[in-house]
Amino acid sequence: MDDLKKLYKDEAKKCITGIKKSVQKLDKNSYDEKVLLELRRLNHMLRGSSMQMDYNSVAIIAREISDNIKKLVGALQKKDHDTSRDIFIAIKALIKVLKTAVAAELNGKSLKLKRVK
């Protein structure tokens, strides 16, 4: 594995771990501005580095997570527990796919995802 891929792999792992921890904290403590900012930052960082590496499947999933974070903020602010629970479930599922996508891209086997509008 070349140096750039290794660096990406290490950073992606840190980002995904941080994203998971942030989601867990929000799931337990509801609306926390600092945790939401950290979640956004980590996801944005992963998306950006994935785009630079041309790992489109990871970037697409990170974009979906970003969209869900925006929805989550609205639901948490409104104290809409049913909607926020559904969004948490969606984000957790996306995180699992994100890990798979990173591994696939690093092995030269993109998931060939397309963003649906």
Average pLDDT value for residue range 59-66: 95
Average pLDDT value for residue range 83-93: 92
Least confident of 23-32, 57-66, 68-77, 96-105: 23-32
Average pLDDT value for residue range 70-91: 91
Handedness of CA 29, 84, 91, 38 (dihedral sign): negative
72: Cβ–Cβ under 8 A, 6 or more apart, which residues?
Answer: 26, 36, 84, 87, 88, 91
CATH architecture assigned to 3-106: Up-down Bundle (1.20)
Tell whether the model's pLDDT for residue 115 goes beyond 70. Answer: no
Per-residue pLDDT reduced to its tens digit, 22-35: 998 988 877 788 99
pLDDT of residue 76: 86
pLDDT of residue 1: 63
Per-residue pLDDT reduced to its tens digit, 4-58: 999 999 999 999 999 999 998 988 877 788 999 999 999 999 999 999 999 999 9
